[in-house]
Homo-oligomer: A and B are copies of this chain.
Amino acid sequence: MSSYWKTYPVLEKQVALVKNLIEQRVQVRNPEISQAVAQLAQAGGKYLRPAFFFLFTNFGPNQDEDRLTKIAASLEILHMATLIHDDIIDDSPLRRGTVSIQAKFGKNIAVYTGDLLFTIFFDLTLETMNGSHYMQINAAAMKKILLGELDQMQLRYNQTQSIRDYLRSISGKTAELFRLASLEGAYFSGASPEVVRRAGRIGLNIGLAFQMLDDILDYSANQADFNKPVIEDLNTGVYTLPLLLALKKEPAAFKPYLDKQNQMELADMQAVANLVRTLGGVDAAREVARKFTHKALVDIEGLPKSQTKKQLTKLTNHLLKRKI
């Protein structure tokens, strides 16, 4: 993590404060849980949501470090809670490069650890904004994230799902938290309503493009190290943008493979991945992701002239144009 922000020294310091706060807050009387969560907090997470939050705090005059750090931590903790519960769903052995909480401690501990993080999220928002309508905005965001996850689960193995279905799901499960982070950064620093609105749009579009790019990289990675995420997604019936765009072109070509659902063999998955590429799914998905990245960059361009604006442009380009 520390290396990730080395070219953004202010951000690096802010992110370190968030990390410390999280480590303090996840201390509970149950040592196993404390250790598990502290480990997740320490591990490779980039703290992207706190980072976007802090970048947007530069557009307002209010710089209460303690309060801003708590809000940033609430965003990362909400993210961590959903990660832990996602790993239960996906039976994931790994998270952030180390053993996932459910793999190490079992599903039972993972369910309650995620729940506990929701309460810590709740605490941090109450400490910083009790009485503000941003409490409702936080509750609505948490609900939207969960509904996005539920959408994705409902759409599993559905060969006729639309691009709109995919967009709705990722708007919730990924983009909502980027939106909230950006919005809150602007709002709680006291930026103008126009900047606050713009921040929300920027966060949303970055979040959408970020998830799309993740999904694209799964299919575009070198065939040599055929990609674990694709295997997991196909096995669990999660059809992402590159596949959906290729599937729309030639549904019949995919049907024999996809009909096997979780019985697909590795060869079937490789055939699907090849079809996705040869039918132009990867390129078409890149085009869609590019549009959302472009929207974000245009909106960033409209922000008040500042050093932060340059940093936002740099970070957005770095995140959304990455090849691996």
Contact = CB atoms under 8 A, between A and B. Distances in A.
Interface of A: 28-30, 32-33, 85, 88-89, 107-109, 111-112, 114-116, 118-120, 122-123, 126, 130-132, 135-136, 139, 142-143, 146-147, 149-151, 153-154
A114 B146 CA distance: 10
A298 B207 CA distance: 58
B130 A142 contact: no
13 contacts: A33-B150, A85-B115, A88-B108, A89-B107, A89-B111, A115-B115, A116-B143, A118-B142, A119-B139, A123-B139, A130-B131, A131-B131, A135-B135
Nearest to A141: B119
Nearest to A109: B153
B147 A29 contact: yes
A64 B130 CA distance: 22
B116 A150 contact: yes
A89 B113 CA distance: 12
A146 B115 CA distance: 7
A300 to B, nearest CB: 31
A51 to B, nearest CB: 25
A164 B292 CA distance: 57
B147 A122 contact: no
Given A30-B154, A33-B150, A88 B107 contact: yes
Contacts of A118: 115, 118, 142
Given A147-B30, A150-B30, A151-B30, A111 B130 contact: no
A122 B136 CA distance: 9
A88 to B, nearest CB: 6
A123 B122 CA distance: 12
Contacts of A85: 111-112, 115
A130 to B, nearest CB: 5
Contacts of A33: 150
Contacts of A135: 126, 130, 135
Contacts of A112: 85, 89, 146, 149-150, 153
A290 B150 CA distance: 45
Nearest to A119: B143
Nearest to A116: B146
A131 to B, nearest CB: 3
A139 B153 contact: no
Contacts of A130: 130-132, 135-136
Nearest to A168: B29
A144 to B, nearest CB: 9
Contacts of A109: 150, 153
A136 B146 contact: no
Nearest to A28: B147
Contact of A146 (B32, B107, B119, B126): B119
A108 B87 CA distance: 10
